[in-house]
Amino acid sequence: MGKKSLERKVINMEKIKCACGETAQKITTEMELFGGDVTVRNIEAYYCPKCKEEVMTTEQIQKVKDNVKSLVPSYEKFSVRKKIAQLGNSVTVPLPKEVADFLGIHKGDEVRITVKDKHRLIVESA
Ligand SMILES: [Zn+2]
């Protein structure tokens, strides 16, 4: 899993010992999953200042797994195949209603379209 920590905060003075022997402090952190498409926030972990790494107990890892499991079905629901339609000189991609609702976009709203590569297009709501 390509995970990256984004923001970490010390939440209390609770501490554990890291494998290196240094004391790791309890923090909350964020993780980006699916190449940054999904961000999981408020993950409990411990941070070792010596290793500069987040250390997680098996309990904490299980919590993240449960969290991701609850995110994955909705994420996969939004991977849909659609036929390109023609509109004047442009071609359009119909967005399913649930995708538009999820993004909070409506008819007339502006979105930013970025061509990522030959196969990928990013549509961003404001
Ligand atoms: Zn350490």
Handedness of CA 18, 44, 61, 75 (dihedral sign): negative
Same domain? 60 vs 101: no
Separation of CA 78 and ligand 1 centre (Å): 39
The number of domains in the chain is 2
The verdict on 115 and 72 lying in the same domain is no
pLDDT mean across residues, the chain: 83
**C-beta neighbour count of 28 within 10 angstroms:** 16
Q: Are residues 60 and 120 in the same domain?
A: no
Q: Are residues 14 and 57 in the same domain?
A: yes
Q: Identify the domain containing residue 58 by its residue range.
A: 9-77
Residue 48 alpha carbon to ligand 1 centre in Å: 5
Higher pLDDT, 103 or 84: 84
- Cα(47) to centroid of ligand 1, in Å? 8
pLDDT of residue 1: 46
Instruction: Specify whether 73 is located in the same domain as 89.
Output: no
pTM tops 0.85 = no
- Tell me whether residue 69 is in a domain: yes
